[in-house]
Amino acid sequence: LREVLEETGLKCKIIKSIGTIEYLVPQGEKYYPKEVTFFLMEIIGGNLENHDHEFDTVQWIEINNAKSILTFQSESDIVTRIIESENIT
């Protein structure tokens, strides 16, 4: 939750875990495993303008539009899982 607040400026509470993806991250000539866990969250406060500027832009995107901007299929699969599990239309 701290990382979400720092990177987005939003205070959130976890509703439930959605899933985990694993992949290898190159560093020099070696690859290191990375695990990312996704959570369905509810915003309870904060402001997008208060993000830590690790990213140029932080924006709210409706979940049905999120898949169109994601780079990796594994992330798109997570969004699909959220939409299906929450019966979002």
pTM of the model: 0.72
Parent domain of 10:
2-85
What's the pLDDT score for residue 27?
A: 94
If we measure between CA atoms, which residue out of 37, 58, 39 comes closest to residue 49?
58
Q: Between 89 and 32, where is the model more confident?
A: 32
CATH number at residue 53: 3.90.79.10
Two structure tokens written together for 56: 């140029």
pLDDT tens by residue, 27-65: 999 999 999 998 888 999 998 877 787 777 777 788 888
pLDDT tens by residue, 58-85: 777 888 888 888 888 888 888 888 888 8
Task: Give me Rg for the CA atoms of the chain.
Answer: 14
Domain count, the chain: 1
If we measure between CA atoms, which residue out of 3, 19, 16, 13 comes closest to residue 51?
3
